[in-house]
Structure 1
Amino acid sequence: MDLSIKELQKEWNSRPWPKSTQKIGTSWARAMRSVALRIPSARLNLSVYPEEHNLLINPLRPDFLTAVSIASTETFNLN
């Protein structure tokens, strides 16, 4: 499932993160609509990185174990 910027509230990338975006994620997870939700990144400037997205994964969805597998891992430093 994809969520575009057009579907988000005006303040979707404000800091601290608004409750409205948290509610979108919670609603999606509870509804069990999909195993994953692709959303625009609020961390990076999308005018510079328009293809940057985050992927939320719902491990509580019944088909999680058959739909998701780890292809590879890599170290990512947040500092």
Structure 2
Amino acid sequence: MPKIMLRLDKEGNLICYVAKKDLEGKVVALEFNEDHRWGGRLQLEDGSALHIDPLPVRPSLPMEVRARRAE
């Protein structure tokens, strides 16, 4: 399970950085994006997908979390 860094860019887009692969890309889809539940499946612009355990509240960014490959 790699650690990923999530942050917002200047335009307000969610950006994901996977240090293990030196990969950075825009998140184009997020499974749960509500104030009371945030996370789940992240779809990146290159077509790859990761999964982070949903959080009970929307986090403040930037943040580092563990992720796994989504199917």
Which of the two has greater helix per residue? 1
Larger Rg over CA atoms: 1
Greater relative contact order structure (CA < 8 Å, 6+ sep): 2
Which of the two has greater strand per residue? 2
* Global fold match (TM > 0.5): no
Normalising TM by the smaller chain, what interval? Answer: under 0.3
TM-score under structure 1 normalisation? 0.24
